[in-house]
């Protein structure tokens, strides 16, 4: 198990380096550059222009200070890795005053809360919904549950966000339309995000529970005259919830990514706000770090899922031992 853990961590590291290499090369190959874009936007929005005096801005100098002038890309990658090893990502082009790690330290908890609460809520709501639908299959409970959860999948979350703002903030004036601070501010964004995971989890639980209930061992319990509820909850549910882990991990990572536009709509100073414009404005330091961060997050979730799996299911633990040993 320990060996397995270290192997996986090693693999994650190698994968991260691969992501880094891809990102660096793509970044340098993509047309457009930060200064052209900034210059254009400045002049578009404000009528200003960066003049001939700005041919070499301080921001660019910060980059060159770090990476040197005309450094080949592979060397830039090594330099980046050396700094990243001590969690030093340096300043970004757009926010030259502060470092990326500094900004992320402030922004991460917000995005985490924003992604974690819908996930938690989705589990709390979705699992009972799925169980109900599976137990009373093809009854009105099933149909209503599935229809509601289908709605969650069908409506894009920016449309839901708009509807909840108009209804809860404008019509009822219960919650603020935007911003971040006390818990009231989190209600509407979470509401906008919760539908999709609820739908996913409810549907998943329903399908896998129905499948488990068809398995021989559950039928055996039935045939022995066992209590139906007991059979379902003690045996079938437990087995069908284990694989739920597998979808919860990626779903959480997905939620982290999809907070980006929710943060924009609700003006929440989270990670998405930092990262989302990075690629569009060719903010190199931010592009690299954000790609790497989300890559890391997804792989971390996968690792946690695997470990959780191993802890719950002895068969899998045994198979890891075989592989890792």
- Write down the least CB distance from residue 209 to another protein, Å: 12
Instruction: Pick between residue 78 and residue 150 the one whose CB is nearest to another protein.
Output: 150
Q: Is 71 an interacting residue with respect to another protein (CB under 8 A)?
A: no
Q: Is 267 an interacting residue with respect to another protein (CB under 8 A)?
A: yes
Instruction: Pick between residue 132 and residue 208 the one whose CB is nearest to another protein.
Output: 208
Answer for which of 3, 6, 9, 36 binds another protein (CB under 8 A) is: 36
- Write down the least CB distance from residue 312 to another protein, Å: 15
Q: What is the largest CA-CA distance in the chain?
A: 88
Interface positions, 212-241, toward another protein (CB under 8 A) = 214
Answer for which of 209, 299, 305, 310 binds another protein (CB under 8 A) is: 299
The whole-angstrom separation of Cα 214 and Cα 217 is 9
Contacts of 132 (CB under 8 A, 6+ apart): 141, 142, 145
Answer for which of 274, 286, 305, 310 binds another protein (CB under 8 A) is: 274
Answer for which of 79, 141, 148, 247 binds another protein (CB under 8 A) is: 247
Q: Is 99 an interacting residue with respect to another protein (CB under 8 A)?
A: no
Interface positions, 109-168, toward another protein (CB under 8 A) = 109-110, 113, 117, 150-151, 153-156, 158-159, 162, 165-166
The whole-angstrom separation of Cα 148 and Cα 125 is 12
C-beta of residue 278 within 8 angstroms of C-beta of residue 286: yes
Q: Is 47 an interacting residue with respect to another protein (CB under 8 A)?
A: yes
Q: Is 32 an interacting residue with respect to another protein (CB under 8 A)?
A: yes
Burial of 286 per CB tally in 10 Å (0-12, 13-18, 19+): buried
- Reading phi first (left if > 0) and then psi (alpha if -120 to 50, else beta), residue 88 is in beta
The whole-angstrom separation of Cα 65 and Cα 96 is 13
The whole-angstrom separation of Cα 208 and Cα 256 is 26
């Amino acid at each position: 198990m320990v060996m397995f853990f270290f192997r996986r961590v090693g693999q994650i590291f190698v994968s991260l380096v691969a992501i880094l290499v891809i990102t660096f090369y793509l970044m340098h190959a993509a047309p457009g550059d930060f200064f052209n874009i900034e210059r254009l936007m400045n002049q578009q929005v404000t009528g200003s222009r960066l003049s001939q005096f700005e041919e070499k801005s301080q921001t660019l100098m910060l980059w060159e200070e770090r990476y040197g002038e005309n450094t080949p890309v592979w060397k830039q990658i090594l330099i980046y890795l050396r700094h990243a090893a001590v969690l030093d990502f340096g300043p970004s082009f757009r926010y030259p005053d502060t470092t990326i790690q500094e900004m992320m330290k402030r922004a991460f908890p917000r995005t985490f809360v924003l992604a974690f609460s819908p996930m938690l809520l989705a589990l709390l709501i979705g699992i009972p919904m799925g169980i109900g639908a599976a137990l009373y299959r093809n009854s009105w409970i099933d149909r209503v549950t599935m229809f509601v959860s289908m709605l969650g999948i069908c409506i894009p979350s920016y449309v839901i966000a708009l509807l909840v703002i108009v209804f809860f903030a404008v019509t009822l004036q219960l919650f603020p339309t935007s911003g971040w601070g006390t818990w009231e501010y989190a209600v509407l964004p979470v509401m906008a995000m919760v539908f999709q995971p609820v739908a996913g989890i409810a549907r998943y639980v329903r399908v896998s529970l129905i499948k488990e209930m068809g398995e021989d061992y559950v039928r055996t319990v039935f045939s022995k005259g066992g209590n139906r509820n007991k059979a379902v909850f003690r045996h079938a549910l437990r087995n069908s919830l284990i694989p739920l882990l597998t979808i919860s991990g990626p779903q959480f990572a997905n939620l982290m990514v999809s907070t980006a536009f929710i943060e924009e709509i609700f003006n929440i100073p989270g990670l998405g706000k930092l990262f989302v414009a990075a690629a569009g404005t060719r903010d190199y330091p931010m592009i690299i770090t954000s790609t790497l961060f989300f890559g890391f997050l997804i792989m971390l979730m996968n690792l946690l899922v695997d470990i959780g799996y191993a802890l719950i299911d002895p068969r899998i633990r045994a198979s890891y031992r075989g592989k890792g040993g």
